Structures are given as C-alpha cells and as structure tokens.
Copies of this chain bind each other. A is one copy, B any other.
Amino acid sequence: MSGPAVAAARVSSPLGDAFHVFDTTLRDGAQREGISYSVADKIAVATLLDEMGVGFIEGGWPGALPKDTEFFARAAAGELALTTATLVAFGATRKAGTRAAQDPQVRALLDSQAAVVTLVAKSDPRHVERALRTTLEENLAMVSDTVELLVGEGRRVFLDLEHFFDGYAADRDYGVRVAEAAIRAGADVAVLCDTNGGMLPLGVHEVVTDVARRTGFRLGIHCQDDTGCAVANTVAAVQAGATHVQCTANGYGERAGNADLFAVLGNLVTKLGLPVLPEGRLVESVRISHALAELANISPDTHQAYVGASAFSHKAGLHASAIRVDPELYNHLDPEEVGNDMHILITEMAGRASVELKAAELGVDLGGRTDVVARVVDTVKQREAQGWSYEAADASFELLLRAELAGSEGTVPVAPFELESYRVIVEHHAARAGDGAGDRTGRHVPAEVLSEATVKVHVGGRRVVATAEGNGPVNALDSALRLALADELPALAGVELTDYKVRLLAGHAGTDSITRVLVASSSTERPGDPDWVTVGVHPNVVEASWQALVDSLVYALQRT
C-alpha cells in the first residue's frame, strides 16, 4: 500500500475499455450529509473500490479541497496501489475570460498527476447565463481550451455535462454543442448528468438515444436519485447506448443520493448480461458495500437491493416450503452471485464458503478442517446476534479463526498478557468566571479536562500496575496498557492507533444500546503494511474500546 510504486498486475473486465464503471463515491458521494472522509479513509475507500473491480475512481477535486490535494499527492507517492482502477481527478473548466494554462484550478489538476481528469461543464444555457454569468460562446471556449490543455499534457479527459437533461428540455442543441466542443478538443466521453435528479427512465432513454444518434459520441451517464429512479435511469441510459456509468457506493450523495454502484452492477451483469467487472468480482458486492458503509460511518441499509442483509430474506410463511424445493422460483437471482445469502438473518450472513474464502485470503491454513469452519460459523453467528460485525474487522476475525484452529488442535493459545482490572477517570473542572469567553454552561469556557487510567495486568510472570494520562479515556487506557506492557513486550512500541469509530446499535434510547467500536492500527516499524482493524462490542464504550485495543495489540504481537 505504500513505499515505491510497484507496477501491479493490471486487471480488466472482459469488456475492457469498451465499458467504463466509474465510481465517484470519493467526490460526489462525499457530498452526502454527514460523510467526511479523512485522507486515510479515502485511501481505504479507493482500495475497496479497486477490489470491487471498478475501472475508474474519482478521488476528489485537487486544488479546491486541501484534503483532496493531499490524497492525490499521497496516492502519487505510492500509498495507493490500484490493480483494476485508474485514479481520476475532478475539476472545472477554466474561468471565463482567463487562459486555461494560467487558471490555478486547472494547474492543480495537472499537479495532481492523475492520468484521467473529469471536467465539469455547464450544459444548460440558463446556468451559463444566470449562474456562471458568461456568454454561451465563452462557455464553449472554456470547455475546448481546458480540454485541449489537459489532452496536450497527456491526460485522458471525460466531460461531465452538468444539468444536461434540464438543459435539453429547454434547448435541445446547446448541451450537444458543449459536448462537441469537448470531443473535438480531445475529450473521450461526454457524460450526460441528471444533476437535479428529476428524470424518469423512459425520458432518459429517449434523450440518450437522440444524442447518440445525432453525435455518434461515446456517452456516459450520471444520475441523482431525486425521483427514486437513479439506478433505473442509469440502466436505461446503457440500454440506449451509454457505455460509461457514474455511480457511488450505496448511492451516497447529496439530497436523495446518486445511482447505487452495487445495484447498477447487479443489473448490468445479471440482467443485461454485460460483463462490466473482472471475473469473480460481483461476488464481492456484499462485503465491499458493507465495508464502505463502515468507512462512511453509516449503518448499512438492510433492505438495499442486491447487497442488503434482508435483500433475499423471505418472511412470507406461505412460501417457505416451496422456496426450499424451488429457490429459483422465488428469487430474482441466486444470492451467491453477489455474495449474499437467502437465509438472511444477520446472524446467518457468514456461510461456510465465505469463512473458507476469508481464511484463504488472510493466509490462515484451515487444512480442510470442516469442523473448525463449522465452529467459526457458529461463533460468528452468536457474536453477530450480540452486535459484533467482522465485515470491516479482519484482524479480529483472524484472531477468532486462529483461536478456533488452536482449540481444535487441543492447544490453548497463550495470551501475551492477562488483565486483572482497569479504572478510567475523566474529570472536568470549569475555569473560574471571567477566565474566558463563552456562555455560562461551560460549553466554550476553557476548562481543564483530565483523563487518567490505571491498569493492572499480568505479563511475563509479573503483576504490573501502571497509570497514565491521556487526552481522552480510551487514549489514557491505551497509554496505561502500553506502559504496563512496555518492558516485557517492546514490539508494541511501534503500534499506532490510526482510526477509531464508534457506532451505537439498536437505535432507541441510548441507555439500552450496544456500542460497537472499530479500531484501525498501523505499525511504525512496518510502514508499508496495511492498517489492521479490530472490533469490540459492549454497552460501555470504554469496554468496547478496550476489547478492540487488546485485539489490536495481540494481533500485532502475533504477526511479529
């Protein structure tokens, strides 16, 4: 994932460049209320999308947002190794009345080193005149100048025709002229965008058919979900000849969101028979959809088409026996094609096959031990019923797998340390009146907030008591634990907590809820290795964090 860029083996779908699966989760998806990706998140999201097999990953708007600029810099420096996907930078055409080469925003696109650039252009004459406040001709020149400059610098360019469908309704020709300006200047694809999301499928089909017939250009489609039809509109555009689809994971996006990548892929591959992904990738849909939900800190939609935990669950009692005899009569496709399962309760998500696949992926040799696989499936079911989720916590899953394997061999894994107790104290003392600004509830008054943790552990035959302060209870606990273990387990000095996520499950009345914590860790001694993620579940956030922290350290020790 980092270090000098290694030329990874490139993988392509059977359709190759003839069909583009273009993901814009990191750019347009991040417009969803509540999503705020860190640069590390962006790298993790891009890696998952690459595993899904998409052809293009739009990573953000370098030059406009500092985090995006940093993301492209770190990707170019080798922190992101993509195998199927090409990274794409998003940006706008030059400003009116300027030269493209001198537009700092256009320069930032070149500086991002992305091989492909998606340029957004106004294609509705009302937007040109009322929002951009320039002439229709100058807008065309802005498009052709900018495309020409980027193509001249060796970039591949896709043009997003913003508000295309609304523009087409008002004026059938102007948007087409914008597309012509771009294609003549060297752009590869003219992407028709339903930016306001007000279209319906038959209308999209008609417009795409007309534009394809009139221009012969390679067309793409980008749909928002304001009519609840983004997926259908995207598919209808493909049926009308579009060969480039812009989607976001789980449909994340502004307002009602975008076309959901997983539903679009399911429909294109299984309904239209278009092999738009590399072999063997569609089956990753459920895993990757859920992992991306975790990274966005959004609960997966249990009823999402194709990938929802309930997408193939049958409740209707009248069908139960018939379903057992003839499952194909009651499912629109075999759920395994997308990595889903028909017997869905969340506890039954982990089948034997996925455990075996996962073990192979993690490099754990189960040696054909079907009894171990069965026990792991049982344990996962039990744990998931209690709120655990291993979908984004491979390291915890690997520990569970190895523990079951060791148990089956009659050996008990020796724990590197044993907890007797911990205590965490957080204290807040308001500063004295007049010490600072802020209202009198103490919200924004500078206050002293202290966290202190004491742990008592048994390690290397000794009982150790250690106390540490921290900037929060989990940090204090982490520090105290490391302090207690430092002498006996010096390898832990290189383990660093890089991310920490908390989710409250069973969303009613905080008091009854279960807390799930995900901790991502990395090794300062092995900077090239990927982060590892562990999970803890408990009604108490400190205890759930403790569990995930302990898993993280045990995992680190086991690897060394």
Contact A32 B271 (CB under 8 A): no
Which of B196, B235, B239, B418 meets A440, CB within 8 Å?
Answer: B418
* Contacting residue for A36 out of B228, B330, B503, CB 8 A: B503
Q: Which of A315, A345, A506 has the most CB of B within 10 A?
A: A315
Q: How many whole Å from A497's CB to the nearest CB in chain B?
A: 3
Contact present for A297 and B503 (CB under 8 Å): yes
* Interface residue A464 (Cβ < 8 Å from any Cβ of B): no
Contact B449 A198 (CB under 8 A): no
Contacting pair A554 B32 (CB below 8 A):
no
Report yes or no: B506 in contact with A38, Cβ–Cβ below 8 A: yes
Judge if A141 is at the interface, Cβ distance under 8 Å: no
| Chain B proximity of A126: nearest CB distance (Å) | 6
| Contact A510–B475 (Cβ < 8 Å) | yes
The docked-state distance in angstroms from the alpha carbon of A507 to that of B298 is 10
Tell me if A542 counts as interface (CB < 8 A to partner B): yes
Chain A contact patch, size range:
35 or more
Check if A137 is an interface residue, CB within 8 A of chain B: no
Stretch at the interface among A108-116, A174-182, A302-310: A302-310
Contact pattern, A 413-434, Cβ under 8 Å of B = 1, otherwise 0: 1111111111111111110000
Assembly CA distance A198 to B270 (angstroms): 10
**Interchain CB contact under 8 A, B196 and A299:** no
A271-B200, A509-B496 given; A313·B33 CB < 8 A: yes
Contacting residues, chain B, for A36 (C-beta < 8 A): 389, 503, 505
List of B residues within 8 angstroms of A542 by Cβ: 426, 428, 449, 451, 472-473
- What CA separation (Å) do A260 and B228 show in the bound complex? 9
A304 to B229, CA, bound (A): 11
Cα of A507 to Cα of B42 in the assembled complex, Å? 11
Query: In the docked arrangement, what's the CA distance between A345 and B501, Å?
Result: 23
In the complex, how many angstroms separate the beta carbon of A249 from the nearest chain B beta carbon?
14
The chain B residue sitting closest to A165, CB to CB, is B332
**Minimum C-beta distance from A98 to chain B (A):** 17
Measured between beta carbons, the chain B residues less than 8 angstroms from A229 are 201, 229, 231-232, 235, 267
Q: Give the residue name and chain of the B residue nearest to A30 (CB).
A: B315
* Chain A 279-333 residues near chain B, CB threshold 8 A: 297, 299, 301-306, 308, 310-316, 319, 322, 325-326, 329-333
Looking across the interface, which residue of chain B has its beta carbon closest to that of A547?
B443
Q: Contact at B225–A305, with CB atoms within 8 Å?
A: yes
Question: Which of A47-55, A77-85, A251-259 participates in binding chain B?
Answer: A251-259
A556, CB-defined interface residue at 8 Å: no
Q: Are A202 and B200 in contact (CB under 8 A)?
A: no
Given contacts A255-B310, A412-B439, 14 further A-B contacts (CB under 8 A): A198-B271, A198-B332, A200-B271, A229-B235, A299-B507, A421-B430, A426-B540, A472-B515, A473-B473, A474-B510, A475-B511, A501-B503, A502-B502, A502-B541
Q: Which 5 pairs from chain A and chain B are nearest by CB?
A: A198-B332, A232-B232, A497-B510, A38-B507, A502-B502
Task: Pull 28 A–B residue pairs with CB atoms less than 8 Å apart, ordered by A.
Answer: A33-B302, A33-B310, A40-B507, A196-B331, A197-B332, A200-B235, A202-B239, A227-B263, A227-B306, A229-B229, A229-B235, A232-B232, A232-B233, A256-B305, A257-B303, A413-B439, A414-B440, A426-B540, A443-B550, A449-B538, A449-B540, A471-B540, A472-B538, A472-B542, A473-B473, A478-B510, A498-B508, A498-B509
